[in-house]
Structures are given as C-alpha cells and as structure tokens.
A and B are shown apart, each in its own frame.
Chain A
Amino acid sequence: MISTDTDILATAEAWVRDGRSVALATVIETWGSAPRPVGSHLVIDGEGHFLGSVSGGCVEGAVVEEAVDVIAQGRPRTLEFGIADETAWKVGLSCGGRIRVYVERISTAKVN
C-alpha cells in the first residue's frame, strides 16, 4: 500500500519539527507510461530515510542520493529519469516512461 501524498506532506512537517533535515521530491512531469502521477511525493531525511514514492521503486534510490545532497547544499534541483536519457543516469524506468522530479530542501528559516 503506497502512502497517500497527504501522509507524506504531514510526515515531512513532522520530521522537520523533530529536528531532522528534510527534502521533498515531487514528480513534476511525466511522458509515456510513468508509474506515478504528476504531484506524487517522496520525503527524504539527511540520513537517507524516506517515505512515499515517485516511481514505484525504479528510481527512488537515485532520488534519495540526490536529496541527501540537496539537503547539504540547500539549492533545489530537477532530475530526469527514463530510457530516453541514456547519458546522465544509470538508473531507468523499466516501463519505458520518463519522469522529471523536483527536489527541494525544507528549510526552517523563511527564505522566499
């Protein structure tokens, strides 16, 4: 059972309030037969714990790795996965689809 995106955003908030450093990954674009719809979330903490899903398991490992980096550096970034993208990533979506994932840190200070 995949956690709902409601649970994930609530979890993200709870983790930050627990003093953990947290990043949120969101599927922002899909092409072809992508496993999870636009708007799906994955929440990741600084130690690589995560909850939720952006691809049903295909690329979570890579997203978590990037997220840990985003937490350390603070700058959001957009990742792209899929069979059409052969050079940048070693992981792919076996279903043949392509997705873009936006990864951002949840900051406790108001920055915007």
Chain B
Amino acid sequence: MDLATLALLNTERAARRATVLVTDVESGAQRLVKAADLAADPLADVLDKQLRMGKSALVEAEGKAFFLTVQAPPPRVIVTGAVHISQAMAPMAKLLDLDLVIIDPRTAFATPERFPGVRLLTDWPDEALAGLGLDGYTAFVALTHDPKIDDPALEAALRSDCFYIGALGSRKTHGRRLERLAAAGFDETATKRIHAPIGLDIGAVSPAEIALAILGEIVKTLRGPRRAPA
C-alpha cells in the first residue's frame, strides 16, 4: 500500500465516511473505493454487500482473489426525548453496538439518574445536532411528541444523509407534523423518508416493546439494501 492510500483511508475514517480498500492479493495492486463512488466500481455488488455487513472479506472475482478491507463507521442513533422509550432503548442499543445519544433540553427528563452511562445533551436539538453532525451512518429518532423539540431536529435530519429517520406519534399527530414540514418547504419525497408509524409492526405496547420495534427497524434499514441515492 502506498502512503497516499493509507492517509486517505485514515482521513475518510476520521470523517465517518465508509470506504473499501480492494487489494489484489496476488499482484498487490490496490484501489480505495469511497462509498459515494461504489456504484461505478466493477465489483460494486460484492462491495455493497460487504459494506452493509461492515465485514472485511476475501472474495473471488474475475478469476482473481481480492481482499476487501471494509471500513464502515460505527453506526449511531440520535434520539430527541429523554422518555420511557429511550430509557429502554439505551441498554438495547448498547448490546447492538449502536452508539446512542439522547437530546432533550428539558433537564427534568434528561438526568444521569434516569440514563446511567448514556450520552445526554441538554442543548436545543438544532445546536446539539450541529455539534454531532448527521451522516449516512446515523439514525435519527424523534420521541418527544413536542414539535418545539422534534421539528427542528426532524428538519435537520431531512436535510442530512441519515440512513434512518423515525418519528413517534399517532397517524393524526404525524399528519399535523407533515403539514408543518410541508409549510417549512419539505416536499413529499423528503417527508416519505420518515418512518411513521415508527418501528416494525410487532404490535408493540410497552415502552420496551416500542424500543425493540424501533431498533429492529433501524437494524433492518442499516443491513438491508441501501436506498438508491437521491
């Protein structure tokens, strides 16, 4: 590997961008494929598959053996709402290797006692999200029911490459939310990215079951075929 390739690999990883380094094991020839350029690569299908699994692998293609060094950023979940559902989500997310961040400016809700060991931000969502950055390996979940908190965060998520956006609320609540987002200039293509009703349809009732349904849907979106670039 040449230094330029190694440096680019490190830069892309630090910026939380996915890459695959393709090495011809026989000749040593290499190319670094950025996720954004993946579709144009001759090995696009297998690269996409390995990237979704986040697994490096030796593959056979074109009669040659290639080693794919897959660098996928650690996926994370950003939630607005230090509520019962996010209390249940925190330990589940940890087991799933998802980095969870909870944003709630209501300091009565966002307390370390209610969320031991969880990263809690009590800034308003637009400020908190600007600091965190929303990228293609981030899922955003709105759980407060409060438009003052959820809406600015949803708007930021819709303007980003987040791989998953979900919002809690009844059909009626979501209908009103869609009206507000439309008034803010988001068309139907944009708002269709929002998973609502949120979570897999498993008949969830309790906060923990809803947390499970949401995390199940996040994992499904993360590991399933990536949506076509807009």
Contacts and interface: CB of A to CB of B under 8 A. Distances in A.
Interface in B54-103: 55-58, 67, 69-70
B4 A110 contact: yes
Interface residues of B, number: 23
A111 B2 contact: yes
A9 interface: yes
A68 B69 CA distance: 22
What is the interface of chain A mostly: helix, strand, loop, or mixed?
A: mixed
Interface stretch (A22-30, A56-64, A89-97): A22-30
B3 to A, nearest CB: 5
B2 A102 contact: no
A26 B9 CA distance: 15
B1 interface: yes
Given A9-B9, A38-B55, A102-B67, A78 B4 contact: no
A24 B1 contact: yes
Point out which of B5, B55, B56 has the most chain A C-beta atoms below 10 A from its C-beta: B56
A87 interface: no
Contacts of B57: 38
B25 A78 contact: yes
A75 B28 contact: yes
Interface string B169-208: 0000000000000000000000000000000000000000
Contacts of B9: 9
Nearest to A100: B58
B228 interface: no
Contacts, number: 62
Interface string B37-63: 000000000000000000111100000
B6 A106 contact: yes
A76 interface: yes
A12 interface: yes
Given A13-B3, A102-B25, A106-B3, A112 B31 contact: yes
B43 to A, nearest CB: 16
Interface of B: 1-7, 9-10, 13, 23, 25, 28-31, 55-58, 67, 69-70
23 contacts: A9-B6, A9-B9, A13-B3, A13-B6, A13-B7, A24-B1, A26-B67, A39-B70, A76-B28, A102-B67, A104-B1, A104-B23, A105-B1, A106-B3, A106-B6, A107-B3, A108-B2, A108-B3, A111-B2, A112-B5, A112-B28, A112-B30, A112-B31
